[in-house]
Amino acid sequence: MDTAICCPKFDPSPWEGKTFVWDKRKFIKDRAFSLFYIPLNFGMVMKRTHDLVQASGATIPEYLCLSDHRSKWRIDVYLAVDEEIPGAENVTLSGRYFSKVYEGPYSDTGKWCKNFELYTREQGMNIRTQFMWYTTCPKCAKKYGKNYTVIIGETG
């Protein structure tokens, strides 16, 4: 039986209902294709970005990887890094953000997004951009017994 764990265990407490500020937080950006918001080549994109980070000797703080579902057909992927990565599209994110943690199957994503939108609106927040952080791959989520997803919204 394969017991390999490739994703670190996620602790939801630092991300549940938290507001924080990023000032030029470093990421590398890549793109994945999707079909009606379902990722088609996400694993390949993750391998490509991880290989670039590993080759540079950099690290991935908090193992943070944000997905911006730009359309039914495209996902922009932002992988946190601690330094600029040669050969990658290096970007920074700055602003005030709010995060909320959800747990369950990926098929609940629509419910989570509606809940996040309602909750933030009730709190008087205006969300400009919304990111999904799938904290573990499906195999590791199964091994850990929890499938956490964090929604992070840039507030205005």
Residue of 1 and 61 predicted with greater confidence: 61
Number of domains in the chain: 1
Evaluate whether 39 touches 51 at the Cβ level (below 8 Å): no
Is residue 31 in a domain?
A: yes
Is residue 34 in a domain?
A: yes
**What H or E segment, with its residue span, contains residue 122?**
helix 109-122
Is residue 8 in a domain?
A: no
Question: What local confidence, expressed as pLDDT, does residue 1 receive?
Answer: 42
Tens digit of each residue's pLDDT (9 = 90 or more) over 113-141: 999 999 999 999 999 999 999 999 888 99
Evaluate whether 72 touches 37 at the Cβ level (below 8 Å): yes
CA torsion through residues 33, 38, 113, 101, sign: negative
Task: Domain of residue 57: give its range.
Answer: 18-155
Give the domain CATH number at 54.
3.20.80.10
Tens digit of each residue's pLDDT (9 = 90 or more) over 24-74: 999 999 999 988 777 889 889 999 999 999 999 999 999 999 999 988 899
Is residue 12 in a domain?
A: no
Is residue 13 in a domain?
A: no
**Closest Cα to residue 127, out of 151, 107, 109?**
151
Is residue 2 in a domain?
A: no
